[in-house]
Amino acid sequence: MAAGGSDAPRVEDAATLAGVPDAFQRLWTPHRAVYVGQGQGAHDDDCPFCAAPGRPDDEALVVARGEHAYVLLNLYPYNPGHLLVCPYRHISTYDLATPDEVAEIGALTQTAFRVLRAVSGAQGFNTGMNQGSVGGAGIAEHLHQHVVPRYAGDSNFFPIVARTKAVTQLLGDVRDAVAAAWPDARPSSAEGGATAPSTDLDSEAS
């Protein structure tokens, strides 16, 4: 309680609290609490990547929908704008993808680069697929490609240890900005996505 009966919370000086200071600063990430608490479990019976296309875009953090694949924000981003490109089919590894799925995953990934550069000024990217649990896949049962925008002095491991401050953004705000900038974007945040519309990416390839 604050002094004088005020309802406003009192801010306490950290120097008066228990603790042993060290050379590290802390990057607080409460949004990862569920991930840390539950760990990486199997998702065969309730695959989030199978469920997402059937939900409204804003709820599922879906950015764009193609005919064979779609794009959504990672719920546990390494950087703001960390996207995942997923086929609609529940397949576990890249070699199981059809030629059409491979082509569209590639096209959506290219468009993701262009959109993230335009929206957030991304200076580089990490992109790739972790295949299988032993390969580092968090959800190994459903293929997904990571597109991680990178910036000078961003929140990778070494700058954090070197006391670089990470500036975070709300997932909903990032989704809205990326979805609005996506070519041939369709307003669908108030609609369910049971049927995946095709996405014309040809104009962006020039």
Q: At residue 168, what is the residue type?
A: T
Q: Cα(152)–Cα(49) distance, rounded to whole angstroms?
A: 31
Q: Cα(12)–Cα(137) distance, rounded to whole angstroms?
A: 41
82 is catalytic: no
Q: 128 — alpha (psi -120 to 50), left (phi > 0) or beta?
A: left
Task: Return the DSSP state at 116.
Answer: H
The residues with which 22 forms a beta bridge, in sequence order, are none
Exposed, middle or buried, 173 (CB in 10 Å: 0-12/13-18/19+)? exposed
Give me the catalytic one of 68, 142, 144, 146: 144
- The catalytic residues are 144
